[in-house]
């Protein structure tokens, strides 16, 4: 299973888990509200929250320890959930097309990113290029963030990125396809542009 599929599965699990907890809390709140308003009879609405037998259990010496243990378990579950949310699906190594006799060749994703960023960064109008590779080492996806000068031709930059840089990277990594998301932002023009003395 690729990292991207794991992330999507994790997101789907989060949605189902949160939906279940939300429905459970909603049902409990609705039942408590209905009981308080007398929907189950005046006897239920006027009765104490804990009966005498239940109150006897809450006064037991082991109850505070059980509550602390349950709180710690819930805190650890919540902490694990938060850690999963912060997990990134960046690829650290790229696996080239394996050759039966030569074995498998791996390339650090940083080297491929550096070459790509340097190539795109030299295009006219490009101030900065940042690349992240996601999904899997054998079938990577590319996220490119470009910062362009205010007077840059964004269409021309996009055409060169699509027709040259992405194609060069795809062929050098020996990939059949290289899905990419390109995000462009423009910098504000300088308030005091530099002047050249003639």
Q: Are residues 26 and 100 in the same domain?
A: no
pLDDT tops 80 at residue 4: no
The CATH number of residue 153's host domain is 3.30.300.30
Q: What is the pLDDT of residue 23?
A: 93
Among 35, 64, 85, which residue terminates a domain?
85
Q: Kindly give the pairing relationship between strand 126-135 and strand 180-186.
A: unpaired
Q: Are residues 69 and 122 in the same domain?
A: no
| Mean pLDDT, range 111-128, rounded to an integer | 89
Query: Is position 97 within any domain?
Result: yes
Query: Is position 14 within any domain?
Result: yes
Q: What is the domain range of residue 44?
A: 3-85
Which one, of 6, 172, 182, lies nearest residue 89 by Cα? 6
Q: Where are the beta strands (DSSP E) in the chain?
A: 93-95, 106-108, 126-135, 140-148, 180-186
Query: Is position 142 within any domain?
Result: yes
Q: What is the pLDDT of residue 33?
A: 87
Q: Are residues 80 and 103 in the same domain?
A: no
pLDDT tops 60 at residue 195: no
Is the dihedral angle over the CA atoms 54, 58, 59, 62 positive or is it negative? positive
Domain count, the chain: 2
Q: Are residues 73 and 126 in the same domain?
A: no
Q: Are residues 81 and 114 in the same domain?
A: no
pLDDT tops 80 at residue 92: no
Lowest pLDDT segment from 54-68, 100-114, 127-141 = 100-114
pLDDT tops 90 at residue 198: no
Which one, of 88, 142, 77, 89, lies nearest residue 115 by Cα? 142
Q: Are residues 130 and 81 in the same domain?
A: no
The separation between CA 136 and the C-alpha centre of its own chain, rounded to angstroms, equals: 15
Q: Are residues 70 and 125 in the same domain?
A: no
pLDDT tops 60 at residue 3: no
A 10 A CB-CB count for 76 gives: 10
* Pairwise pLDDT comparison (15 vs 88), residue with the higher score: 15
Q: Are residues 100 and 54 in the same domain?
A: no
Q: What is the pLDDT of residue 57?
A: 76
Query: Is position 195 within any domain?
Result: no
**Each residue's pLDDT tens digit, 125-183:** 999 999 888 877 778 888 899 999 888 888 999 999 999 999 988 888 888 888 888 99
Q: Kindly give the pairing relationship between strand 106-108 and strand 126-135.
A: unpaired
pLDDT tops 90 at residue 70: yes
Q: Are residues 115 and 59 in the same domain?
A: no
Percentage of the chain with pLDDT > 70? 82
Q: Are residues 18 and 97 in the same domain?
A: no
């Amino acid at each position: 299973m690729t990292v991207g599929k794991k992330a999507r599965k994790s997101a789907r699990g989060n949605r189902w888990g949160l939906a279940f907890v939300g429905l459970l809390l909603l049902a409990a709140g609705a039942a408590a509200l209905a009981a308080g308003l007398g929907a189950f009879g005046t006897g239920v609405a006027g009765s104490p929250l804990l009966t005498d037998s239940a109150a006897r259990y809450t006064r037991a010496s082991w109850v505070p320890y059980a509550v602390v243990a349950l709180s710690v378990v819930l805190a650890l579950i919540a902490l694990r959930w938060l850690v999963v949310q912060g997990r990134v699906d960046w690829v650290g190594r790229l696996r080239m097309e394996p050759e039966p006799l030569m074995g498998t060749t791996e390339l650090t994703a940083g080297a491929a990113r550096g070459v790509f960023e340097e190539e795109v960064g030299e295009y006219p109008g490009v101030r900065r290029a940042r690349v992240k590779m996601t999904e899997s080492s054998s079938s990577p996806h590319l996220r490119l963030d470009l910062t362009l000068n205010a007077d840059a031709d964004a269409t021309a930059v996009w055409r060169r990125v699509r027709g040259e840089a992405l194609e060069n990277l795809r062929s050098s990594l020996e990939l059949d396809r290289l899905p990419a998301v390109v995000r462009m932002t423009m910098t504000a023009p300088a308030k005091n542009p530099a002047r050249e003395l003639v």
